[in-house]
Structures are given as structure tokens and as C-alpha cells.
Structure 1
Amino acid sequence: MKKEFELITQIRENQSISREQFETLMTCEDAQVIDFLHQQAREVADGIYENKVYIRGLIEFTNYCKNDCLYCGIRRSNAKANRYRLTKEEILDCCKVGYELGFRTFVLQGGEDPYFTDDRICEIVSAIRTTYPDCAITLSIGEKEKESYERYYKAGANRYLLRHETADEAHYQYLHPKELSLAHRKQCLWDLKEIGYQVGCGFMVGSPHQTRDTLYEDLMFIKELQPHMVGIGPFIPQQDTPFAKETAGTMEETLRLLSIIRLIHPHVLLPATTALGTIHPLGREKGIQAGANVVMPNLSPVEVRDKYKLYDNKICTGDEAAECRFCMQRRMESIGYEVVTDRGDFK
């Protein structure tokens, strides 16, 4: 048995990874070893969640943002962004379509848009909760104060996604404007957990100035936080940002990290992201085969899909919700997985 196989088995058994083990797996060029890594991660996921892939309905409800993060296409200073906001009624229409298609989790994602005050967010969340009491409501609307998070939770939100982006302070400063801090980002995640949300963190793979050291710090933060969800996907440049000419992250590195995260945090809800599907035609299928167990088709109205440009060449911008839903089901069935329409809670 190859020593790398033993190393992977050890990581699985201990649910932890050393700096040296991480270096070995990220630099390994032996296809058999990487196949074994993905297979072990898949076994762990199947042991907990069987061959089920949970489906979340994504509603991108605003592309206004007060922040100026250097990698993001909806950053404040991007004058070329074609801005939009969905009304409460439009958001509820998306939920209605999604509910009829079997979605039982709605993910409201947007930039940090000052128009959507706490009152407005609570009104929207409360309306969804009243209309669809059996559904999970996930928010992904950035950094807020603890009091705001508490209000959303009381209004009916269950889950919150907030990518930490990098657990390395210097790297964080390189990616973000000076008014944002890693300390505050992390505090938000701890606050969310304390309130009672199912919490998701995550990072881009291959972002500018990322190193294996910074990636290892990300893994250590995940071990410390013990989030319910981790969202990772390859960094993809957006043409109207300062990082327009930077090199994109790779599918191979993203898949290795998905598998490692599954092994060190077995119960995690792990999406095969749209970015992964953007960088490779079978990216999402490969993500599932590497240990992921969540997919997030888009429920946003088709006329705004192309305006939510976090990165270039995003897929599925022209598809109706039903097309996205059934396309995803066929894709997952083609690799032996079943898309399930329950809430898909953390086990």
C-alpha cells in the first residue's frame, strides 16, 4: 500500500490534517493517490448522507454593494455593473416557483446593500416564513452587527452563509479594502453561531497571493469554528475589477480541498458550487464525486441573472428556474446520486 494511501486513511480516522500531510496531498502528482483521496471523502459523505444531494434555491436579490472588495464584480466602484434590486413581491414569486419545483430551502444572497435595512430584511424573511413554514431560510448578505443577526433569526431565518475568504490577516487585507477586517468577519461568524444559526463559512481557491500556508490556515479555522456548511469554489477573475488579469483557480485544487474538508469535518454540508461548474463543464458532478453533497440552482428571475456578475462567464444565466432544477437532477442522476427536496439539515 502506498504511504500516501496510509496518510489519507489516517486523516480520515483522526479527522485532522497536519501541515506536512496537507503539503503532501496538495503537491502530489500521482493520479491514483488523488483518486483515493476523492473516494475516501465520498465514502465518508455517503456514510452520513447516503447518495443524497441536497438542493437549495438561490435568489440573488440585489447586486448593489457598499463594499469595494478587489475580486468582486459587484464592488461599489464598478461603474459598469448593471444594478438591480428585487422587490419583496418578486422575491416571494421566486419562492413560489421554487416551492412548486420541490425546493425546501431558499438562499437569499446579495451585496451589502444599504437599501435593505434590517426592517426590510425582517419583513421579507417573515413573509417567506409565514408562507412557507416548512422551509429553511438562508441569508447571505454579509457582515452585520449581532443585533441585526438576532432580528433576522427572530423573523424566521435559520441559516447564514458568510465566507471568511481567508483566515490569514495579511492575505485578507490584500483582497479587501482597508475598512474591512478579518477580526470582524470572524466575529460575525461566532456571533451567528451563538445566536443559533446553522452557519456557513468558506473561501475562494486560487485567489491572488493565496499560498498553501494560507489554505492550511483556512482548514484550521474550519476545524475551530465547526461550521455546518463550507462553501468553496475556484477564484474566477471578473473583467471590471482590479484582479481582472489574475489567474483563475483550478478545478483540481478545489476538488482536493473539498475532499480534505469532508475528511476533517465529516458532517459538513458542502456545496458543489456554480463557480466549479463554470470552470469545467462537469465541475459540479466532479465536486459531488469528491465529497460535496449540496447544489444550488438559481431561482432568480432570468432578466437579472446576468447582472449578478461576481465573476466572468457564469453559467445558467439564461435558464428558467425549472430548467436549472431538472438539469441539475439529471446531472446528479448521471453519476448515481439522487437530488432530494427536503430541507437537507446538518446531521
Structure 2
Amino acid sequence: MDFIEKAVQTHDLTHAELVEILGSSHYDEALWYAADKMRQNHVGNDVHLKGLLEFSNICSRTCYYCGLRAENRSIKRYKLSAEEIRAFAKKAISYGYKTIVLQSGESHTYDCQTLCDIIASIRSLGATVTLSLGEKSKEEYQAYKEAGANRYLLRIETTDKALYASLHPRMSFENRLNCLYTLKALGYETGSGSLIGLPNQSIDSLANDLLFFKNFDFDMIGIGPFIPSENTPLAHAKGGSFTMALKMMALVRLLLPKINIPATTAMETLDSNGRTRALQSGANVVMPVITEGEYRALYRLYPGKICIDDTPKQCRLCISGKIIAIGRGIASNNGDSERFIARKEEQRRYYDANA
């Protein structure tokens, strides 16, 4: 049995097997084909479109790879009002979005109560709410959950502690990990992910990332290539490989067959068909930006961000056309992870059996 066939049958690979697959082009075509079939068999052909609302680019962190880092004085900062956020969300829902993903730089620009009010406001419109706000306290996570937030995305970026420390000044790997465990314990549908191609990142550490995702039992994993951003310490570093990011994404699908995997926007920055290729290699989610005007360009994590001059309606029509062109459909439900649904059922059965 070869490694790909083993992964298909068992959803499990050793560290050495992952290193072998990641380090050789020999497995690529078989890997992508297997991941696509795995996606089809476990989460179906429909693609979940989730509206990404980037409501503030203010960030207090100084991560070396990120264009939003606090020390980047070259970008215009913005903070949407609660009314603007609701208006963008309402319009996106009218286009057919069932989930609104609220994303911002990591800061305390909005206090906890304001964020809770925003969450409740969007929930009242009938949408599911996903948050991507960075590291917060357990009390804040609990408050967001009680206000109606359903999901939380917090990428670990790398599980290599030394590499993590070198890229994230004054941040703690252990705290980030604790945040993920807290989110899961609170009942969030929990997502994480990695940045692929960081300086000094090894294939060995990428394999460890995959095993971490498997062992944690996440509901969603986002994989994106490192793209050097101007006005950051890594501005002149070599960027990540599209192919390696695609391989990581496909391996995530084989190891975690029922989770949600987005075809990330950064993939299309490196390859004009990047999201389509990702959707044919294990991905089942796309998150088009739903903010309008200058805000689309100002949320500049990396250069070359696609679709900054388009309207949210244009983006919805464009990506829908691409999805249909590859023989896929647009999901009509709210996009819960099949793994999350299955876990809740497992918990219900356990409680019933032990009541």
C-alpha cells in the first residue's frame, strides 16, 4: 500500500510519511486527485460561500510577515462603525450569504460589549457568525458566544515554537494554543491553519503542523502561502510555494475528511486559477470579501490582493461562475463543518448513554 492509498483508507499518516510526500513531487497528482475524491465523498460537491467582512485593519501586534503590523506606518488605518458593519452584512445576506465572517486586526479598538452588540445584530438578520479577531480572554470568548457567535478562526501559523517566537515579538505560543483549547471547550466550531513558506520553515515542521491539526480535531483549517509584504521585516524574503500550499491543503483533507477547508484568496494571488485549483484539491469553502470601496484595498495583509476594485456583488457572481464551471454547486445551508455536526451527535449519544 502506498502512502496516498494508506491516507485514503485510514485518514492517518506518520510524520515520516508526511515528510516523504511533502518533499517529493512524485505524489502530487495522486495526492490532489485523492483529496478531491475525499472531499466529494465526505462533504459533497457544493461549495460554501461565506462573506468576509474585514471591519478594521488596526492591529496592536507586530508579526514580522503581516502588512497590518502595528509598526507599518505606511497604511491608512480604518475602523467601521457598528452601523456600517451591519449594513455590509445585510447587503451580503441579500446576495445569498448564510455566514458572515467578522475579521479584523488584533486590538482592543472595539470593547467587548460593542463586539457583542455587533454579533447579535448580524445574528438577528438570520446569518451565522464566524469570528477572526485573534487572541482574547476566556471571558471575551464566552461573551461573544453568548451574543450569538458560532465559529472562531485562529490560525496557529506554525507549530514550530522557535519559528513562532522568531516571527511574533512579545507573543506566546502557549497562550495561542490555550486560546484554541478554550474556544473548543466553549463549544465554538473551531478553525486554525498554517502559513506556508515562511523563512526557516522546514518540511519537518510542516508535517508537525498536519499532525497537530489531526490530533486537535479541528473543524476548519485554512492554508495559505507566505507572500512577502512591503514595510515589514520580511519584505525581501522569498515567498512561499503555491504547490506546497496546495499539497498541505490536500493532506489536510485526507487526514481530516469531514472538515471545512477554504480555497484562500492568497492562493489566487500566486496563481490566476488558484482558488479553482484548491477547490479541485480538497477545498470546499470560498470567502469573498463583502466590504466595499477603499476598505477592500486597505485590509492589506500582503501585496497583490485580488478583487480590490470589484464590488461584493461582482465577486459573488464571479466566483459562483467559476464554481459552476468546474461542475460544482453553491451550498444553500449555513456551512457548518460536517465534523462539527458529527462531534455534536457523538456528544449527544454519550450524554444520553450516561444520563
TM-score grouping bracket, smaller chain normalisation: over 0.9
8 Å contact kept, 2:156–2:177: yes
* Equivalent runs, 1:1-347 vs 2, <5 Å: 6-30=2-26, 33-132=27-126, 135-177=127-169, 179-347=170-338
CA contact (8 A) 1:78 1:240 kept: yes
Identity of aligned residues (%): 38
Partner Cα separation in structure 2 for residue 73 and residue 251 of structure 1? 20
- Alignment check: 8 A CA contact 1:55 1:341 kept: no
- 1:28 is displaced (CA, Å) by 1.8
Q: SS at 1:306's partner residue?
A: helix
Gapped regions of structure 2 (runs ≥ 5) = 339-355
Provide the aligned length of Structure 1 versus Structure 2. Answer: 338
Partner secondary structure for residue 316 of structure 2:
helix
In structure 2, give the amino acid aligned to 1:15. H
Secondary structure of 2:310's partner?
coil
Q: In the aligned structure 2, how far is the partner of 1:185 from the partner of 1:128?
A: 27
Following TM superposition, by how much is the alpha carbon of 1:314 offset from its aligned partner in structure 2, in angstroms?
0.5
Structure 1 portions without partners, runs of 5+:
none
Alpha-carbon distance, 1:29 to partner: 2.7
Deviation, 1:186, is 0.6
Q: Secondary structure at the match of 2:190?
A: strand
Structure 2 Cα separation of the partners of residues 11 and 199 of structure 1: 23
RMSD: 1.0
1:192, distance to aligned residue in structure 2 (A):
0.3
CA–CA distance in structure 2, aligned partners of residues 39 and 202 of structure 1: 22
Q: Which amino acid aligns with 1:223?
A: K
Alpha-carbon deviations, 1:166-223, whole Å to 9, x = none? 111101011110x211100010000000000000000111011110111111112101
TM-score by length of 1: 0.95
Given that 1:62 and 1:113 are in contact with CA atoms closer than 8 Å, whether structure 2 keeps it comes out as: no
Does the Cα contact within 8 Å between 2:3 and 2:13 map onto a contact in 1?
Answer: no
- Letter matched to residue 115 of structure 2: I
Greater shift, 47-56 or 149-158, is seen at 47-56
Contact 2:221 2:261 in 1 (8 A): yes
* 111-120 or 144-153, larger mean C-alpha shift: 111-120
